[in-house]
A = this chain, B = another copy of it.
Amino acid sequence: MDNELSPAARERLLGAGLELLLQRGYHGVGVQALLDAAQAPKGSFYHHFRDKEDFALQVIDAYMAGVHGALDASLSDTSLPPLDRVRRFFDMVAQGYASDGYLGCLLGGLGQELSGVSPVFGERIDGCLTYIAGRLAQPLDEARVAGQLPADTDPQALAMLLVNCWEGAALRSRLSHDPAPLRAMLDFFFQAATRE
């Protein structure tokens, strides 16, 4: 075990948090379980995090760092048509779900569990989803300009819809440990959006 002040302990705690919060939810995970899973020294949690809420918000930041990476990797590949870049983003997210054992999306999970009592979490997670939609609106607009979406498409509204429907499909894949709802949603969405 390293020193409680070590940045490595902080990283391991955030990594354990990503896994445990996704599986068990916020209230289902205690500080001791996080310390055990991270093999982190006792004092490290409250050295690196103000409290459990601060920790969970930083876990959301770490989750979003992964989302940013997937957005950058998928949307920057201009060798693909713009709609394929959007689809690739969701395919990458779905691969992440698969490697987690289909536990769905941390944003949806914590959003459902906490937003009824914590405006902090509600607003933070709503902001994350709005950010993702904003990034996806760019290639959707490119597709509209290129005639691959109807000319009257509102890219921002369409991106928001896509993200929201995805969250529903992610819940369903979590309930059934099955990727089928994810694929079905994307197929329906892209077929529907591209028809005049």
Contact = CB atoms under 8 A, between A and B. Distances in A.
Contacts of A174: 111-112, 115-116, 122
Nearest to A196: B195
Nearest to A26: B27
Size category of the A interface is 35 or more
A25 interface: yes
A28 to B, nearest CB: 6
A21 to B, nearest CB: 9
Contacts of A111: 112, 171, 174-175
Number of copies: 2
Nearest to A181: B164
A167 interface: yes
A112 B192 CA distance: 28
Given A167-B171, A168-B169, A176 B126 contact: yes
A9 interface: no
Contacts of A166: 168
A160 B188 CA distance: 12
Interface string A105-122: 000110111111100001
Interface of A: 22-28, 103-104, 108-109, 111-117, 122-123, 125-126, 129, 157, 160-161, 164-172, 174-177, 181, 184-185, 188, 191-193, 195
